[in-house]
């Protein structure tokens, strides 16, 4: 009788089946982080989720192409069971930010790491070397994410979480049951709408309709520089929150869209870290001035768009990414020069990096807006016109209501604006078009003509 030789290691199909589970966990982690950025009150948690959303999405993408490599020859597509989706979507339904953090860092990460390590142990060290090298390159960062996450949530961790993690344990035992799902179909729809951005307790918020912070001399005066940075920081946080929700609320958009949104969110998280660094060096803290959430809450929904619709997504992208971030491309280039001339090379250095990223943000906004609006040459310009008209009309109404209810405050704001004009020698704020940056981002002449016609940017170059 001939001796039987059992395979010592996994076959390619088994390796692919293992990787698809892991890829699904990573993709789900990115999805959960995207949904929760805006709901976490602590800024360090928002930043961490922004960064992790991108890292997890990139790991899922690398695993996805490795899975294709293992399955292409046999035209198979490995699947996960809907039981796995039940576990991760249950995490997403956590009742509080503390529970969410506990579920992610104390429960999900250990299981994710264990799945990676199991793969390393069981797979063929030569046949599946591609997977092994990927996993080895991932593990140090994943271990670090878990450590940092646990350290951040330690003080907030309560024993009442035991029952909550028990629910997850129970679902985990049934993770291989249920209908088969492909990686692309393994996500779940949004569990909520989030109109209000969470901020730490006792945050002093600037009121809707207020002009917000009006630094008269943001280059020359120390306090006004602090105010300028404070405004910037609010823009970074709110951009991070909105972009993350754009991804989370539209899981059925293509994989490439989600990669772009994850990179964008992670960029905004890095920007926040850099701006906070500049503020700390000058003795300012976030919260020293009134905090603004208007770039999230004012862009979240629009009456003419059905909640959760593609049109709503389109309007958010058109206003945030193709209008506001387009203006940032112009003003950053201009500001970098002013800061250099004023000897503020630390701010100039940070803004140089921000500008690099901003071009990608506008480019991605243009790409995905075109995808949604269709390929007609002026469709995007028309859609932007419609979105912008609604947006400005609503802002004007909010301003009017604010002035009626807060006359003294409104007068003070106008005085600050006047002061700024005097500082500049009675000329309006100068925002010369950054033609190179806009061309690199993919703006057409039509797009540029539109923003100039609205009066937000001009052909004239600096008069300083
Ligand atoms: Fe930014
Ligand atoms: Fe940006």
pLDDT, tens digit (0-9, with 9 covering 90-100), for 231-284: 999 999 999 999 999 999 999 999 999 999 999 999 999 999 999 999 999 999
User: Is 60 exceeded by the pLDDT of residue 464?
Assistant: no
Per-residue pLDDT band for 463 (boundaries 50, 70, 90) equals: very low
Rounded Cα–Cα distance for residues 122 and 119 (Å): 5
What's the gap in Å between 261 CA and the centre of ligand 1? 13
**Ligand nearest to the backbone CA of 234:** 1
CATH 1.20.1260 describes domain 12-182: yes
Q: Higher model confidence: residue 6 or residue 305? A: 305
pLDDT reported for residue 424: 67
pLDDT, tens digit (0-9, with 9 covering 90-100), for 378-424: 899 999 999 999 999 998 888 888 788 888 887 787 777 777 777 76
Rounded Cα–Cα distance for residues 205 and 454 (Å): 29
Q: Higher model confidence: residue 397 or residue 363? A: 363
User: Is 70 exceeded by the pLDDT of residue 462?
Assistant: no
Collapsed DSSP state (helix, strand, coil) of residue 240: helix
pLDDT, tens digit (0-9, with 9 covering 90-100), for 89-148: 999 999 999 999 999 999 999 999 999 999 999 999 999 999 999 999 999 999 999 999
What's the gap in Å between 239 CA and the centre of ligand 2? 7
pTM for the whole structure = 0.94
Residue 4, classified by CB atoms within 10 Å of its CB into exposed (0-12), middle (13-18) or buried (19+), is: exposed
Q: Where are the domains of the chain?
A: 12-182, 222-453
**Ligand nearest to the backbone CA of 364:** 2
What's the gap in Å between 334 CA and the centre of ligand 1? 16
What's the gap in Å between 445 CA and the centre of ligand 1? 24
Per-residue pLDDT band for 433 (boundaries 50, 70, 90) equals: very high
pLDDT reported for residue 155: 61
**Ligand nearest to the backbone CA of 243:** 2
User: Is 80 exceeded by the pLDDT of residue 461?
Assistant: no
If one looks up domain 222-453 in CATH, what number appears? 1.20.1260
pLDDT reported for residue 159: 61
What's the gap in Å between 243 CA and the centre of ligand 2? 9
User: Is 90 exceeded by the pLDDT of residue 210?
Assistant: no
**Among the listed ranges 45-54, 77-86, 419-428, 438-447, which one has the minimum average pLDDT value?**
419-428
Same fold across 12-182 and 222-453: yes
pLDDT, tens digit (0-9, with 9 covering 90-100), for 322-342: 999 999 999 999 999 999 999
Rounded Cα–Cα distance for residues 414 and 363 (Å): 35
User: Is 60 exceeded by the pLDDT of residue 426?
Assistant: no
User: Is 60 exceeded by the pLDDT of residue 428?
Assistant: no
């Amino acid at each position: 009788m001939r001796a039987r030789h059992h395979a010592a290691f996994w076959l390619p199909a088994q390796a692919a089946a293992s990787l698809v589970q892991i890829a699904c966990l990573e993709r789900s982690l990115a999805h959960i982080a995207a949904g929760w950025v805006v709901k976490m009150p602590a800024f360090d948690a928002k930043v961490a989720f922004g960064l992790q959303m991108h890292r997890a999405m990139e790991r899922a993408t690398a695993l996805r192409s490795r899975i294709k490599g293992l399955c292409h020859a046999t035209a198979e597509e490995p699947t996960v069971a809907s039981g796995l989706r039940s576990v991760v979507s249950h995490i997403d339904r956590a009742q509080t930010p503390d529970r969410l953090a506990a579920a992610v860092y104390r429960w999900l990460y250990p299981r994710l790491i264990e799945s990676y390590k199991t793969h390393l142990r069981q797979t063929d060290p030569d046949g599946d070397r591609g997977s092994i090298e990927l996993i080895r390159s991932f593990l140090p960062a994943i271990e670090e994410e878990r450590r940092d996450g646990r350290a951040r949530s330690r003080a907030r961790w309560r024993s009442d979480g035991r029952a909550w993690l028990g629910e997850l344990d129970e679902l985990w035992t049934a993770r291989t049951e249920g209908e088969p799902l492909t990686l692309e179909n393994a996500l779940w729809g949004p569990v909520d709408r989030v109109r209000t951005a969470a901020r730490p307790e006792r945050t002093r918020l600037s009121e809707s309709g207020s002009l917000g912070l009006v630094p008269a001399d943001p280059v020359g005066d120390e306090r006004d520089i602090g105010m300028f940075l404070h405004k910037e920081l609010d823009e970074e946080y709110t951009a991070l929150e909105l972009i993350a929700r754009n991804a989370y609320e539209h899981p059925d958009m293509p994989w490439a869209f989600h990669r772009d949104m994850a990179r964008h969110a992670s960029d905004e998280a890095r920007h926040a870290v850099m701006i906070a660094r500049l503020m700390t060096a000058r003795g300012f803290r976030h919260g020293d001035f009134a905090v603004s959430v208007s770039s999230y809450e004012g862009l979240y929904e629009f009456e003419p768009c059905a909640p959760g619709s593609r049109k709503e997504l389109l309007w958010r992208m058109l206003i945030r990414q193709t209008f506001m971030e387009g203006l940032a491309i112009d003003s950053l280039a201009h500001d970098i020069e002013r800061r250099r001339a004023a000897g503020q090379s630390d701010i100039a250095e940070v803004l140089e990096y921000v500008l690099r990223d901003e071009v990608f943000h506008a480019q991605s906004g243009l790409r995905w807006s075109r995808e949604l609006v269709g390929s007609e040459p002026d469709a995007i310009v028309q859609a932007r016109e419609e979105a912008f008209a609604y947006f400005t009309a609503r802002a004007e109404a909010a301003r009017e209501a604010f002035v009626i209810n807060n006359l003294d405050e409104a007068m003070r704001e106008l005085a600050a604006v006047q002061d700024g004009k005097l500082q500049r020698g009675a000329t309006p704020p100068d925002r010369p078009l950054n033609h190179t940056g806009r061309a690199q981002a993919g703006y057409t002449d039509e797009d540029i003509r539109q923003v100039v016609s609205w009066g937000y940017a001009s052909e004239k170059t600096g008069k300083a």
